[in-house]
């Protein structure tokens, strides 16, 4: 049997669980050292916000962002995609519009954050070559 041509993408839930298991007393972060993170209010359903808060190292504020999903330290702008949503975004052309909007924001470093594993893509109906 040949190995799957789709590389395994590490799932960040393991890291989220580790972060969530810490509390602010164990984190070693002082209030003055906490990193500000603005989170788009449409991103509250996942476990990321809870994990950031539980770490004690982030000052999390939830509000509507016009571009992106997470603004970290007023410097890094992240668009988060689950792998199934990434494929839908590619097919609809939405990914390219979002990437262009991210790239046009002045003085911020944009990034795309992918969440999931190759198992999330097995039944997607799109070949690995098309995804690449």
pLDDT in tens, 14-59: 444 444 444 444 556 777 789 999 999 999 887 889 999 999 999 9
3 state DSSP class of 77 = strand
Share of the chain above pLDDT 70, in %: 77
Contact (Cβ atoms closer than 8 angstroms) between residue 36 and residue 74: yes
Mean pLDDT of 87-108: 90
A 10 A CB-CB count for 44 gives 11
Per-residue pLDDT, averaged over 68-86, amounts to 93
- Model pTM above 0.85: no
Q: Is 2 a residue whose pLDDT tops 60? A: no
State the chain's mean pLDDT as an integer.
79
Q: Is 53 helix (H, G, I), strand (E, B) or coil?
A: helix
- Is there a contact between 116 and 6 (Cβ–Cβ < 8 Å)? no
Average pLDDT over residues 68-77: 96
Share of the chain above pLDDT 90, in %: 48
Mean pLDDT in residue range 49-72: 95
pLDDT higher than 70, residue 105: yes
pLDDT confidence of residue 46? 76
């Amino acid at each position: 049997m040949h190995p799957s041509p789709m590389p395994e993408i590490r799932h960040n839930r393991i890291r989220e669980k580790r972060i969530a298991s810490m509390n602010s007393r164990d984190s070693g972060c002082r209030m003055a050292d906490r990193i500000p993170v603005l989170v788009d209010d449409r991103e509250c359903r996942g476990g990321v916000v809870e994990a950031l808060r539980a770490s004690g190292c982030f000052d999390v504020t939830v509000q509507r962002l016009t571009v992106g999903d997470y603004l970290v330290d007023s410097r890094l702008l992240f668009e988060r995609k689950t792998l199934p949503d990434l494929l839908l975004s590619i097919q609809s052309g939405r990914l390219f519009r979002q990437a262009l909007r991210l790239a046009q924001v002045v003085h911020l470093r944009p990034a795309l954050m992918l969440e999931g594993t190759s198992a999330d893509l097995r039944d997607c109906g799109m070949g690995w070559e098309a995804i690449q």
